[in-house]
Structure 1
Amino acid sequence: MRELLSLLAIGFTSALFPLVNIEAYISVRAAVSGVGPVWLLSLAAALGQMVGKYLWYRLGASSLGWGWVRRKIDKPSQRARLELWRRRTDSRPFLAGCLVFVSAVVGLPPFAVLSVVAGQLGMHLALFLGVGLAGRWLRFAAILGGVGWLEHLGVL
């Protein structure tokens, strides 16, 4: 139980502070103490990450009310660009979800940046959280599975 809580906490911390690398943490943790239940451990790390990414999402959503951001957005060209991307996100939730999923799994575009942009565009929160969680869960399971495979080969 303590192991799951620590993964949750490290996941949350790494979501807020990119210098804390959850991928390195789970890789080293798995190499040192064994992989363990991959799906459960990766879910704990993904849940922690998504709580942190939710805060970035809320920051993005609230940032449009900040004075210096509002001054930038009040320019007609910037307002038109924001509205264009909002319409694209609203009218194509499947594609928006795919972008979130790819970012959550691969990291391109960076998931922290995408979290802020998703908030600014008003992406449906349940879509963002659900697809982001699935992507992060798969990412961390692949890392843990890769370490387990290397252990099985005798490399580690």
Structure 2
Amino acid sequence: MILWLTTFAFSIASALLPFLPIEVYILGAAASDPTLGTSISLGIAAGLGATVGKVIWYQAALHGIESRWAQKKLSKPKVQAAYEKWTGRMQGRPWYAATIIFVAASAGIPPLLAMAAVAGILKMPLWVFIPTVVVGRSIRFTLLFLGVDFAFH
């Protein structure tokens, strides 16, 4: 239980602070108890924690778009055009938005931190964002834990 809570907490920190890579933590944590059940459980813990961190980025971007600085940036024609382009693509198309976020959450391309901010700025519905990130991150981290498990057997 301690390892699960530590994994959950570290994954929140890692999601907020890009200089704390969860992948390095996973190598150490998985080596301490390399079993299938532990790998799956810790992958889910890391996925849930990462989602908490990314929701914080989402909310910061959602509310930050109204700041004077953001409005000044959006007043530039090139930035405004890009904003309108992505808003048009994402709003009203939850499957499209979910696909982009899922790829970012599971493969890391584009970086999920950036996509969480974009999702907040574009007001992607949380009912799409949260489960997509949980599933994508849980798959990614479970596979990493299982990779370490496989290396030990």
- TM-score using structure 2 length: 0.92
In the alignment, structure 1 segments of 5+ residues that lack a partner are none
Other structure's SS at 1:19 match: coil
Q: Which amino acid aligns with 2:148?
A: V
CA offsets 1:108-129 (integer angstroms, 9 cap, x no match)? 1111111001100111111111
Distance 2:118 2:77 in 1: 19
1:102 is aligned to 2:107? no
For residues 4-60 of structure 1, give each alpha carbon's deviation from its aligned partner in whole angstroms, at most 9, with x where no partner exists: 110111010001111111111011221234245222111111111111100000111
How many matched pairs? 152
1:33/1:40 CA distance change after superposition, 3 Å: closer
Alignment of 1:129-144 (within 5 A): 129-144=130-145
Partner of 1:78: 79
Please name the residue that 1:41 is paired with: 42
Contact 2:55 2:116 in 1 (8 A): yes
RMSD: 1.4
Following TM superposition, the consecutive aligned residue runs of length 4 or more in structure 1 with deviations greater than 4 angstroms are none
Describe how 1:115-134 pairs up with structure 2 within 5 A: 115-134=116-135
The reply on whether 1:65 has 2:58 as its aligned counterpart is no
Cα deviation for residue 76 of structure 1 reads 4.3
CA deviation after TM superposition for structure 1 residue 78, in Å: 3.1
Which residue number in structure 2 is paired with residue 55 of structure 1? 56
User: Percent sequence identity over matched residues?
Assistant: 36
CA distance in 1 between counterparts of 2:94 and 2:9 reads: 30
**Alpha-carbon separation, structure 2, partners of 1:78 and 1:148:** 46
TM-score, normalising length: structure 1: 0.91
